Amino acid sequence: MGHGIKLTEAQWDELDRLRLTNPSKTVFRNCMIILLSDSRQTIAAIARQVGCGTDTVARIRRLYRQGGATALIPGKSTGRPCRATATYRQALRQAVQTSPLKLGYGFTSWSAGRLAQHLARRTGISYSDDQIRRILHQEGFSFRRPKHTLKGKRDEAACDNARKKLSRLKKTL
């Protein structure tokens, strides 16, 4: 298992080209592991240089021996498919671009929670606030939590008078 990998010049060139042309950091790391394995370094030394564990180095070397350079490119992560269908995403885009007031709500801006509840009612698919934020990001929307102030809800003239009075009181102390 600790035996290095001896590369031909063609294999070296293939790995070097893949490392420099593929945008994935993982592919770069995997290619570096194999290229460094050609230099008779120990698995532990390669792991330190590349910044990963020895088990990763051993796994990547095994993958390369079994499938060559193409085995260094990770496949699509398996996992549960997203429940946010095209219809759901369309409803999300439409809701985000519509004022909640126009939809009959008593508030003026969407929060992730409010948007999640609205879309759950419309589509039957419910998500957590965090997941809604991730889907919004995927759809190209930036999301900022609203800054709650009293501006527009208070008597601005009375507020200014109070601010001036406070300033005068501070000066007399």
Greater pLDDT, 26 or 78: 26
Residue 79, domain member (yes or no): no
Are residues 26 and 48 part of one domain?
yes
Say whether both 63 and 93 belong to one domain. Answer: no
What is the maximum span of the chain, computed from C-alpha positions, in angstroms?
A: 86
Residue 152 is assigned to a structural domain of this protein: no
The contacts of residue 154 (CB under 8 Å, 6+ apart) are: none
Q: Are residues 44 and 91 in the same domain?
A: no
For residue 55, is it left (φ>0), alpha (ψ between -120 and 50) or beta? Answer: alpha
Q: Is residue 164 part of a domain?
A: no
Same domain for 91 and 63: no
What is the reported pLDDT for 81?
80
Q: Looking at the domain assignment, is residue 46 inside a domain?
A: yes
Taking only the tens place, the pLDDT of each residue in 20-63 is 999 889 999 999 999 999 988 899 999 999 999 999 999 999 99
138 pLDDT above the threshold of 60: yes
Q: Is the pLDDT of residue 107 over 70?
A: yes
In total, how many domains does the chain have?
2
Is there a single domain that holds both residue 45 and residue 67?
yes
pTM score:
0.47
Q: Kindly state whether residue 61 falls inside one of the protein's structural domains.
A: yes
Are the C-beta atoms of residues 136 and 143 closer than 8 Å to each other?
Answer: yes
- Does an H or E element contain 86, and which? helix 86-96
Task: Give residue 1's pLDDT.
Answer: 45
CA angle 88/132/98 to nearest 5° reads 65
Query: Can you give the pLDDT at residue 58?
Result: 95
For residue 153, is it within any domain? no
Give the per-residue pLDDT at 84: 87
Half-sphere exposure (CA, 13 Å, Cβ side) for 78?
A: 0
Tokens of residue 27, six digits:
């592919």
pLDDT at 2 over 60: no
Domain of residue 41 covers: 9-72
- Please answer whether residues 35 and 15 qualify as being in contact, where contact means their C-beta atoms are separated by less than 8 angstroms: yes
Tell me what pLDDT residue 145 has.
Answer: 67
152 pLDDT more than 80? no
* 55 lies in the same domain as 103: no
Query: Is residue 110 assigned to a domain?
Result: yes
What average pLDDT does the chain have? 88
98 and 65 in a common domain: no
Residue 41 pLDDT: 87
The C-alpha R_g of the chain, in whole angstroms, comes to 29
Domain boundary among 72, 99, 121: 72
The more confident residue out of 7 and 151 is 7
